[in-house]
Structure 1
Amino acid sequence: MCSKLLEKFVFAISVSSACAVVHAGELTEVTNEVNAEPDASIPLLAVDGPEMASFYYDYVGEMDFEDESGSYNLNAFRLQSPIAGAYDDGFGWGVDVFLEYTDFNVKDQPALEDLDLYRIGMDLNFIWLNVKGSKWSPVLRLSPSLSSDFESVSTDDFRMTATAGAFYQQRSNLKWLFGIFYTNNYYSDKWNSFFMLPVVGFSWQPADCYDITALGPRIDFSYLPNDDWKIGAFFAARSRNWNTEGDNSFQVSAYIVGVRLDYQVVEDCWIIGEAGMTINNSVDVYDRHDRELFSEDADAGVFASVGLRYRF
């Protein structure tokens, strides 16, 4: 019971697969530039880095349920692009839009069915650099979205995640993030409305070619041998929740551990590959009255991801 409770708590901090980490003074996923030119440092706070559009495909292999019959696997696509942003006199802001599609496939489990799941939304990002000459830079990130199978659309499809806090530049190679994380994009029989939790993260570059970042249950270690290559390893927790037909809450969660390779094929364009294992996999379904319809862990599985990123 305690381990299950702890697992749910950890997933609450990382409900989004695009959960941000601290990097180079921005609230963003780990970017891949080495010695980036000044334009790339403008803090527009897009998920993949300043002024960055991206496309990803994820595959999660078939996993057997531990105590129930059947198995499942996932295919997912994500497209994201900035649409507006500016930086002036220490203040930066940016707006990204994104579309996610997840194909959930199940075998030999009568309580579940194949689902086409969608998430459409935007990221609103703001930063105030070095307020009044201090080492503090306040940040705010808002991510409203619709998360649904779109069989019908209601207010239950609406999701919101938000992070409010501040970076603290302790040293030139060490930056901290302190703040508060809020979401209603996670569901359990213990917490079925929303979470508001403290966040502590850091970005540390022990040498020019190494970078270590951590926020909540995501840790990244990266080696950057030159301007075109980035090699890394990571551990993270992922959870996604959708409102489905009948106003049921459908949720898929996992821990992932893997390696990542980024390569700049031409100027401002990168290809990305990831591969590894998923562990502590689970599928949970609750009805509109908070009654558990299905809750089952699954065996470890494999995952792979490919992506393309382009900076405008």
Structure 2
Amino acid sequence: MRRFLSFLPLFVAATTAVTALQAGEVIASKAPAQVTASKGTDEALLKEFLAPELAFRYDYDFPMSLENAAGEYSMHEFRASVPLPPVMTDTFILLAKLNYRLFLADVDTSVLHEDLDLHTLRLPIQAAWLSPTSPWLAAAYVEPGISSDFNRINSDAFDLSAGFGIGYRFSPNFMAAVGAGYSRNYGDDDVFPVLALLWRVSDRFTVTFSPDGLIPSYKVSDDLYIKLRAELIGGRWLIEDEEGRGRILRLQGASATLQAEQRLFKDCWLTLGVGINAFSELRIEDSNKRELLDEDLEDGVVIRTGLKWVF
């Protein structure tokens, strides 16, 4: 899936931490997830974005036919996310984790007809600087990575995104952040503005917006959340075809899914969702980046499942 900058989780965590600090709370660096929030602070929100979590996910993109040519595309996706120990003080937050994704792609086109094992390995690192006496904060983000079938690796296989932003919490229920980002995760050097918003409409209903997408979330109970995720998807992988020739596979589009997050026990959560992939485009290039195929894809169904343990 296409990966943009994701400032929002860090901004939410940091601004929630600011609220706690302004209320006179102390955040212990040895146990950042165990925050005692005073009345008017959002303890659950802080824990959601700061607590390390071990996560696994499986998605299946049902076959999507090429609109103007014979062929189709489908994909199984497996993800694993392993957290690294966070660092937190009253003025600094550092979050990092290791993400691995395996894509089993079935590509059936006139220029490429193969079952591919595609790998993406990334190390997102986020840092925030804040003040106990101010609602302002700053955040930086960098995420190096690699995307390949591991049969062929060169400079085209390496990913990188980075950015910097400024955030402001207007009230306990609304915050905004702006910044600038850079990404070459799709093969091109892209520089773009970053906007992130968090609006807690009520104790049960929250809306977030970031480069990763729009996510309205409804809290049915302490053990069940319903979320609608509208997000951009895609990716770029360096591959080798059956004849040993280097190829670059690109996918981009959008996805909308309805998801339920159910607590199984204590800090273990199960996610189930179904949705639609739309506005998708499949592109295949040779090793010199000459276009071999560029086709729109018909809409397709996607299912999403996940399991996570929050520490």
TM-score (norm 1): 0.83
Paired with 1:46 and 1:243, the residues of 2 have a C-alpha distance of 37
- Could you say what secondary structure the match of 1:26 adopts? helix
- Count of aligned pairs: 283
Evaluate the alpha carbon distance shift between residue 168 and residue 220 of structure 1 in structure 2; reply closer, same or farther with a 3 A threshold.
Answer: same
Unpaired runs of 5+ residues, structure 2, are 15-32
**Aligned equivalent of 1:100:** 101
**Aligned equivalent of 2:299:** 300
- Equivalent residue letter for 1:243: L
**Aligned equivalent of 1:4:** none
Evaluate the alpha carbon distance shift between residue 132 and residue 46 of structure 1 in structure 2; reply closer, same or farther with a 3 A threshold.
Answer: closer
**Aligned equivalent of 1:38:** 35
Task: List structure 1 segments (4+ residues) > 4 angstroms apart after TM superposition.
Answer: 17-20, 39-42, 45-49
Paired with 2:47 and 2:223, the residues of 1 have a C-alpha distance of 21
Paired with 2:150 and 2:307, the residues of 1 have a C-alpha distance of 27
Paired with 2:78 and 2:235, the residues of 1 have a C-alpha distance of 14
Deviations along 1:132-154, one digit per CA (max 9) or x if unpaired, are 72221111121111111110222
What pairs with 1:154-193 in structure 2 (closer than 5 Å)?
Answer: 154-187=154-187, 193=188
- Equivalent residue letter for 2:230: F
Quote how far apart the aligned CAs of 1:257 are.
1.1
Higher CA-based Rg: 2
**Aligned equivalent of 1:125:** 126
Quote how far apart the aligned CAs of 1:15 are.
3.0
Question: Once structures 1 and 2 are overlaid, which stretch shifts more, 144-153 or 240-249?
Answer: 240-249
| Contact 2:53-2:83 at 8 Å conserved across structures | yes
- Could you say what secondary structure the match of 1:238 adopts? strand
| Contact 2:5-2:181 at 8 Å conserved across structures | no
Identical aligned pairs, as a percentage?
24
Deviations along 1:21-48, one digit per CA (max 9) or x if unpaired, are 4577238xxxxxxxx9627989xx9997
Unpaired runs of 5+ residues, structure 1, are 1-13, 28-35, 188-192
Deviations along 1:48-93, one digit per CA (max 9) or x if unpaired, are 7531111000000011111110111100011001122211122111
| Contact 1:17-1:238 at 8 Å conserved across structures | no
Q: CA RMSD in A?
A: 2.6
| Contact 2:5-2:161 at 8 Å conserved across structures | no
Evaluate the alpha carbon distance shift between residue 104 and residue 284 of structure 1 in structure 2; reply closer, same or farther with a 3 A threshold.
Answer: same
Deviations along 1:203-259, one digit per CA (max 9) or x if unpaired, are 001111000011136111111022111012121111111122244321112211120
- Could you say what secondary structure the match of 2:156 adopts? helix
Match of 1:210 among 194, 197, 205: 205
